[in-house]
Amino acid sequence: MDVRLDDKIMLVTGASTGIGRAIAEQAARSGAAVAINYLSSQSEAESLKAQIDEERGTCCLVKGDVSDEEEVLRIFSETAEKLGRAPDCLVNNAGSMIGRSPIAEMETAVWDRVYAVNMRSVFLCCRRALKTMIPNRSGVIINISSIGAYTGGGPGSTAYASTKGAMNTFTMGLAREVAPYNIRVMAVGPGVIETPFHDKFTTPERRGAFEKMIPLGRVGRPEDIAPMVILLASDLSSFTTAHHFDITGGM
């Protein structure tokens, strides 16, 4: 089955690397015009745009911090300016652990930053997206969660995991709020995925231990997550909302 996103505009936050990059690539290949949001990974974002351009896809780069309210307003304005209209689909992918730390030793500023990057950003982007989705009576929002929402996360990642639990709750509540406007809201929860995230925050020894816990016998790849996002964003999923989908290899 060829899942298509023709005539759709998708904004993917944190799209320059990892899962976000794979989602942006697949969305463009499926016919969507993609706004690639990034903050610091400029060279990676530029290489992604070059790749999509070479494949004759449609995309633009939109730099900005999605945890900052004014930046979010600008990101959406630039997306509409560069791609012709506001996004039909928002993928809230940007996120970070900031750093591993036991709660007993965590600084308040770190806790606040984890919540700003992982949840304030989702709230700000959803609120702005709905300004156009509600009048249009159409739209899709997909939040990238984590298996940590259920497990509490690995050592030192309780704060991060708690944001993903909050994200799942937010997803369910928002989905019911906006369903009367034909807007669908879902979450996708990856397990252990081979990305720069784990290069930064997880030791090889810990990654090996995680891999032994996965029934399918391997860690995931960003390309394992993207197809589900594309399917949920498509019209083939028009009766699907208020749900989260875990892609964990059986964990």
Q: Which residues are designated catalytic?
A: 160
C-alpha pair distances (Å), 24 with each of 16, 98, 126: 9, 23, 18
What are the Cα distances from residue 185, in Å, to 142, 148, 189? 6, 20, 14
Beta bridge partners of 90: 11, 141
Cβ neighbour number for residue 43 with a 10 Å cutoff: 10
Q: Is 18 left (phi over 0), alpha (psi -120 to 50) or beta?
A: left
